[in-house]
């Protein structure tokens, strides 16, 4: 058995989710290969070769891979799929865009967002917003899998010495084109990679009130997040959203401020190592998953907390 991991990268460096996916691939048994499909992506390939547990890195370098268009990357995967028993990608927007195409063309069932590998053909994945865990066994000759990063430790980024092999690039699919990208710039850590997150909910009352959280986040070196209710109300941008339909996170510390704890939000953060909830409603569902709960007015509590941190 040999597993193929589809690297998520920006041509210069790997995204953290790739390291978690390598761990899942290693647990499937056999060697782990990594596909880096990009343009002038030598740096990303070298980074992949350094990951502990990776046996080989395959590099497909072509201008039309530069922006990670799903149609082109899927064609590249299909060109080499016959050599692999497992094909895995991160359960990010990148992986979720590519692997369903691969599974459909291979005529196999995709296994989505696994959080555990029980055996090479049996996996666990959350269903019903994480309230139940389904055990899925696949008899398909090739297992096509997306990996929820919060379920697996990241493979070490150093210690590996994989061979790097250049392979023939699959032809340009030609039916889609990259138009543009709008990137939100922030000096704070990226939400899915942050060790500490401070999130606000509908209880913040307005977008301006989110500024109350900034001194606390700054002193903790934290990323800032939000519930869907806060995002839908227009308080903060969409890319702050944590939850079932937002970003799945599992930081060392998650501070939920003015968040009631709807099941969809809990699905996105309940694997956090330590959860602190601040809410004026003592019956708020968020307290059911919190390690520490504080019932109080957030507009009084947060400034005091930030002050105590010095």
Task: Encode pLDDT of 107-158 as tens digits.
Answer: 999 999 999 999 999 999 999 888 899 999 999 999 999 999 999 999 999 9
Tokens 């994989």 belong to 162
**pLDDT tens by residue, 254-289:** 999 999 999 999 999 999 999 999 999 999 999 999
**pLDDT tens by residue, 29-46:** 999 999 999 999 999 999
Count of beta carbons in the 10 Å neighbourhood of residue 264: 17
CA distance 302 to 277: 11
Question: For the chain, what is the radius of gyration of the CA atoms?
Answer: 21
Q: Which tokens in the block code for residue 154? A: 């990241």
Q: Is 13 in a helix, a strand, or coil? A: coil
Hey, what's the torsion of the CAs at 18, 21, 27, 29, to 10 degrees? -70
How far lies 179's CA from each of 69, 108, 176, 182, 196, in Å? 11, 31, 9, 10, 34
Q: Which range is least confidently modeled, 92-96, 161-165, 177-181, 241-245? A: 177-181
CA 270, chain centre distance (Å): 15
CA distance 147 to 189: 22
**Is pLDDT above 90 for 175?**
no
CA distance 228 to 207: 13
What predicted TM-score, i.e. pTM, was given to this entire model? 0.87
CATH numbers and ranges of domains, the chain: 2-166 (3.40.50.620), 191-308 (3.40.50.1220)
Cβ distance 114 to 86 under 8 Å? no
Edge-first strand listing for the sheet containing 122-127: 116-119, 122-127, 132-137
| Separate counts of helices (H) and strands (E) for the chain | 8, 15
Residues 6+ apart with CB under 8 A from 272: 197, 249, 250, 251, 252, 253, 254
Residues 6+ apart with CB under 8 A from 79: 168, 170
């Amino acid at each position: 058995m040999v597993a193929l991991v589809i690297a998520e990268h920006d041509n210069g460096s790997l995204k953290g989710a790739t390291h978690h996916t390598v761990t899942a691939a290693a647990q499937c048994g056999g060697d782990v290969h990594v596909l880096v499909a990009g343009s002038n992506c030598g740096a990303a390939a070298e980074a992949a070769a350094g990951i502990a547990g990776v046996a080989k890195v395959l590099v497909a370098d072509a201008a039309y891979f530069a922006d990670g268009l799903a149609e082109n990357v899927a064609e590249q995967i299909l060109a080499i799929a016959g050599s692999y028993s497992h094909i895995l990608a991160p359960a990010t927007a990148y992986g979720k865009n590519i692997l369903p195409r691969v599974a459909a063309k291979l005529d196999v069932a995709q296994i989505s967002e696994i959080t555990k590998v029980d055996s090479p053909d049996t996996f666990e994945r959350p269903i019903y917003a994480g309230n139940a865990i389904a055990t899925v066994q696949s008899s398909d000759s090739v297992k096509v899998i997306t990996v929820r990063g919060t379920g697996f430790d990241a493979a070490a980024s150093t210690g590996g010495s994989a061979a790097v092999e250049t392979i023939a690039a699959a032809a340009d699919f030609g039916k889609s084109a990259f138009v543009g990208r709008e990137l939100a710039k922030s000096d704070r850590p990226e939400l899915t990679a942050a060790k500490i997150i401070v999130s606000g909910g509908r209880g913040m009352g307005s977008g301006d009130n989110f500024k109350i959280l900034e001194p606390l986040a700054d002193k903790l070196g934290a990323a800032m997040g939000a519930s869907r209710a806060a995002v839908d109300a227009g308080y903060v941008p969409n890319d702050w959203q944590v939850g079932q339909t937002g970003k799945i996170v599992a930081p060392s510390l998650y501070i939920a401020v003015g968040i009631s704890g709807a099941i969809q939000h809990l699905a996105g953060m309940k694997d956090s190592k330590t959860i602190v909830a601040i809410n004026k409603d003592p019956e708020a569902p968020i307290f059911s998953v919190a390690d520490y709960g504080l019932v109080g007015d957030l507009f009084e509590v947060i400034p005091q907390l930030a002050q105590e941190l010095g």
